Amino acid sequence: MISFILTTKRLLKALIRAFKQPLFISLSTTLFFILLSGTMFYTKVEGWSIIDAIYFCVVSLIPSGVDTSLTPTTNLGKVFAMFYLAVGVGVMFLTLLTIGKTMINYTDDSTTDIKKSKKLL
């Protein structure tokens, strides 16, 4: 449980640092609009509930292998899913990559601070 709390703390600090980068702000905004458009499309065309549409849109963009048991049934929904996934997976990947790089850089900064403080002692 303690490792979960420490990891969550590191993730939140990395997110705060990432939001100071223009690239991350741009990726986050783009990802938000991709998820919003997918949610709106699937609620209108496929008739899914909002929570089902959000769940499908988020889980389908994360490379997790989770079975959502939701699949588009209309031809328009299937065509939209092809383009949605082609665009959305790339943006999601870059967003997660940026968060990961920020976490690594943050960890490197904190370990070098520790090493510097040990040399002073």
Over residues 17-32, the mean pLDDT reads 92
At residue 56, the pLDDT reads 92
d(CA 95, CA 89) in angstroms, rounded, equals: 10
At residue 55, the pLDDT reads 93
Picking from 77, 72, 103, 80, the residue whose alpha carbon sits closest to that of residue 7 is: 103
List the alpha helices (DSSP H) in 1-121.
Answer: 2-18, 22-44, 50-61, 75-120
More confident residue, 65 or 55: 55
- Rg of the chain taking only CA atoms, in angstroms: 19
Q: What is the pLDDT of residues 66-103, one digit of tens each?
A: 787 888 999 999 999 999 999 999 999 999 999 888 88
Q: What is the residue whose two structure tokens read 């499309």?
A: 41
Q: Is the pTM of this model over 0.75?
A: yes
Residue 17 has pLDDT above 70, yes or no: yes
CA distances (Å), 110 to each of 24, 65, 79, in order? 22, 34, 47
At residue 66, the pLDDT reads 79
Confidence tier at 50 by pLDDT (50, 70, 90)? very high
d(CA 47, CA 61) in angstroms, rounded, equals: 20
Confidence tier at 119 by pLDDT (50, 70, 90)? low
